[in-house]
């Protein structure tokens, strides 16, 4: 049977399409299979980099927190107190613990191994708390104390990642921890150590296996720190004591090589500071590999079938007379060209209109921004990143901070680096609070910034929070004013309000405040404190004989003499007239009596200008937890009265 031309053409198109589809499908299938496997392993390598950066970032953050404590003004002042703690340094330790919900313990120990300050948290996200003095322990024989105490200045020590041990046994439920420590120096002399214990459970959970990849962490001996099956995690410390060799034939290469990969896994050293020499292994799951191959087979066979089915009607239509087909194509081309011309003209008109609008808006924006360039206020636009890098800042910033706008734009300096280290925590806290409350606009409490030449300035900051369509914070826009002159005047007035105008020591108002705080520490922490009241003997006779001007001069000379012989922790103030009070923290009644006796002898042997010699009577008492503050003051006053009654120039302790 002879085939017509149209049937021959139809059969030719069909056979050609069949051969072309089969060849293309086979080549594409082979290439895609290899590409998918390569992509899977590349993703495994990327996953390793993310996990490594997560661990390294967090451990570096822990180092930064310890370093921040050592270098903080509050902590350095604490070291000058020779081991005595106060509420300020305790609050510093609590604030650091609150800033990171993974901090398990934060401790300061002296070189004898005695815990000076210790903050504990029972579980992640629980509120940290300060241990009282009676619960502090000696850790001299613990390995971590001995290793940290042997370090040089500015060095850091990291422990193994292991399970927390309490009373010689592994604590259950299991608590993975790591300890980080650093020595503490005071004027080039080692005086103690700082140690921070970190909960590692939540951090390791972020590296946990998924349906796509199995994640393993092993130490240098092949024991598992992390395993997809939780019962094998921390296999060095609990049953069963399985190793990498029990699961992987190529375990030796994984442990000995810095980087190892095959078509089934990727492994490399984490290169952290810990002595474990940890290796992280990323392995695509069988389910993931099978799923990708199954999807690939399904897509290609389906696509082949669809193309074959479509080739029949396509071949049929292609076999129509070329003349008719050409006419239709020509008509379509003419119509298409006309439409393209019309659309091109419309787009040109639209572009011209948009350029005009953009130029007008840009001009208006430049006029507004120039107001900030000419004035003293500074307009900032910060990114929502860790250091608040600057996206835009007005030219007036150079007058305020000394840095040029270009230095900020090129990230040579970030805004967070300009904020005074002591003020940065509460600035961050205010920002986080505003974000949590979903505020659009808020005003910071005044805070300090450090200029390029090292000067300190006070800032008033009004900030707008910019969010995207999903409500995520992307930018902050701040309007900053320099209020240094106002703030310095305010601080001067504050100093004047608590200073006695004659003697330039603390006045009665300030003494009352300190007494209240000291009484609170006694109730909360059993912190000892003694009171010393002193009164000049026969001061009225000095005023009557020499006049009040000489009397005032005697008061000033006496306060200067006493102040130079007190400890830095002692609070000295004028109680009234010729009567003065000394508040002695961490001091027993016996110690306070010895202090008062030294002062009495010092005054007795001193020659005062204009009046020669004079004497002072003392009343001493130690504050009692069961007493009210008023009762303790009355006791000191009674002791002073007894000294007066028994001939003056005496020290009486009750």
Could you read off the pLDDT of 8-22 as tens digits, one per residue?
666 666 676 666 666
| 3-class DSSP assignment, residue 37 | helix
Domain count, the chain: 4
Both 558 and 534 in a single domain? yes
The SS3 call for residue 288 is: helix
pLDDT in tens, 587-620: 999 999 999 999 999 999 999 998 999 999 999 9
Angle between helices 508-525 and 629-645 (to 10 degrees): 120
Residue 374 pLDDT > 80, yes or no?
no
Domain limit, last residue, from 264, 283, 302: 283
Q: Is the pLDDT score of 319 beyond 50?
A: yes
Residue 247 and residue 127 share a domain: no
Domain that holds residue 179: 72-202
Is residue 449 located within the same domain as residue 595?
A: no
Burial letters for 384-404: b for 16+ Cβ neighbours within 10 Å, e otherwise? beeebbbeebbebbbebbbbb
Longest dimension (CA), the chain: 151
Q: Could you tell me if residue 354 is inside a domain?
A: no
pLDDT greater at residue 484 or residue 168: 484
- On whether both 503 and 600 belong to a single domain, the answer is yes
321 against 305, higher pLDDT: 305
Are residues 182 and 259 located together in one domain of the fold?
A: no
Same domain, 649 and 502: yes
Instruction: Mark whether 645 is an active-site residue.
Output: no
How confident is the model at residue 358, as a pLDDT? 47
Tell me the Ramachandran region of residue 363: left when phi exceeds 0, alpha when psi lies from -120 to 50, beta otherwise: alpha
Same domain, 442 and 579: no
The answer to whether residue 167 is domain-embedded is yes
Say which of 90, 283, 527, 578 is annotated catalytic: 578
Res. 433 pLDDT band, cuts 50 70 90: very high
Task: Determine, yes or no, domain membership for 574.
Answer: yes
At 103, list the tokens.
Answer: 């901090």
> Average model confidence (pLDDT) for the chain?
86
In the chain, % of residues over pLDDT 90: 58
User: 3-class DSSP state for residue 464?
Assistant: strand
pTM listed for this prediction? 0.43
Helix (H) or strand (E) holding 572: strand 571-576
- Find the Cα–Cα–Cα–Cα dihedral 534, 538, 540, 541, rounded to 10°: -150
Residue 391 in tokens = 């996206």
Please report whether residue 535 resides in a domain: yes
* Cα 405 from Cα 372, distance rounded (Å): 13
Residues 642 and 519 in one domain: yes
Measured CA to CA, the distance from residue 34 to residue 37 in angstroms comes to 5
> Which residues lie closer than 8 Å to 365 by C-beta, 6 or more apart?
none
Answer yes or no: do 86 and 133 share one domain. yes
């Amino acid at each position: 049977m002879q085939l017509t031309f149209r049937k021959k053409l139809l059969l030719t198109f069909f056979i050609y399409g069949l051969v072309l589809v089969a060849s293309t499908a086979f080549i594409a299938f082979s290439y895609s299979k290899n590409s998918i496997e390569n992509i899977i392993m590349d993703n495994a390598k990327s996953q390793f980099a993310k996990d490594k950066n997560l661990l390294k970032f967090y451990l570096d953050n822990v180092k930064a927190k310890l370093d921040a404590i050592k270098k903080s003004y509050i902590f350095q002042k604490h070291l000058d107190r020779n081991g005595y703690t106060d509420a300020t340094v305790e609050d510093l330790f609590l604030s650091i613990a609150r800033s990171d919900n993974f901090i398990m313990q934060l401790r300061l120990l002296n070189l004898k191994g005695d815990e000076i300050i210790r903050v504990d948290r029972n579980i992640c996200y629980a509120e940290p708390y300060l241990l009282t003095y009676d619960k502090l322990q000696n850790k001299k024989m613990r390995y971590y104390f001995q290793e940290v105490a042997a370090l040089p200045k500015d060095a850091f020590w990291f422990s193994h990642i292991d399970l927390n041990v309490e009373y010689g046994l592994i604590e259950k439920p299991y608590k993975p921890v790591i300890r980080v420590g650093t020595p503490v120096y005071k004027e080039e002399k080692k005086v103690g150590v700082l140690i921070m214990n970190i909960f590692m459970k939540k951090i390791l959970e972020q590296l946990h296996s998924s349906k796509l990849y199995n994640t393993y962490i092993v130490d240098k001996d092949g024991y598992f720190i992390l395993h997809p099956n939780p019962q094998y995690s921390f296999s060095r410390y609990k049953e069963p004591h399985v190793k990498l060799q029990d699961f992987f034939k190529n375990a030796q290469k994984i442990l000995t090589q810095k980087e190892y990969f095959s078509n089934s896994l990727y492994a490399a050293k984490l290169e952290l500071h810990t002595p474990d020499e940890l290796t992280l292994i990323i392995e695509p799951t069988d389910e993931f590999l099978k799923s990708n191959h199954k999807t690939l087979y399904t897509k290609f066979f389906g696509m082949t079938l669809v193309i074959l089915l479509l080739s029949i009607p396509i071949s049929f239509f292609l076999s129509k007379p070329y003349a008719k087909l050409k006419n239709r194509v020509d008509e379509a081309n003419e119509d298409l060209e006309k439409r393209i011309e019309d659309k091109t003209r419309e787009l040109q008109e639209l572009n011209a209109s948009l350029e005009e609008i953009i130029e007008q808006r840009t001009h208006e924006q430049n006029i507004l921004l120039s107001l900030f360039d000419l004035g003293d206020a500074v307009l900032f636009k910060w990114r929502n990143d860790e250091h608040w890098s600057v996206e835009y800042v007005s030219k007036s910033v150079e007058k305020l901070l000394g840095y040029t706008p270009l230095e900020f734009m090129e990230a040579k300096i970030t805004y967070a680096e300009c904020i005074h280290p002591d003020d940065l925590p509460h600035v961050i806290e205010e920002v986080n609070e505003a974000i949590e409350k979903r505020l659009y606009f808020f005003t910071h409490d005044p805070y300090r910034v450090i200029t390029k030449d090292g000067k300190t300035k006070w800032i008033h900051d009004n900030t707008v929070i910019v969010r995207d369509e999903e409500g995520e914070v992307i930018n902050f826009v701040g309007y900053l004013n320099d209020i240094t002159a106002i703030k310095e005047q305010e601080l001067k007035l504050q100093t004047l309000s608590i200073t006695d105008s004659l003697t330039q020591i603390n006045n009665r108002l300030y003494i009352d405040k300190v007494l209240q705080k000291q009484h609170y520490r006694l109730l909360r922490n059993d912190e000892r404190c003694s009171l010393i009241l002193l009164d000049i003997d026969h001061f009225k006779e000095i005023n009557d004989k020499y006049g009040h001007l000489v009397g005032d001069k005697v008061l000033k000379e006496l306060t200067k003499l006493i102040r130079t012989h007190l400890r830095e922790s002692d609070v000295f103030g004028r109680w009234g007239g010729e009567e003065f009070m000394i508040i002695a923290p961490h001091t027993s009644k016996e110690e306070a009596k010895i202090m008062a006796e030294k002062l009495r002898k010092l005054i007795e042997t001193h020659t005062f200008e204009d009046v020669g010699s004079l004497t002072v009577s003392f009343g001493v008492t130690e504050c009692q937890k069961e007493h009210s503050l008023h009762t303790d003051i009355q006791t000191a006053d009674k002791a002073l009265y007894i000294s007066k009654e028994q001939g003056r120039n005496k020290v009486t302790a009750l």
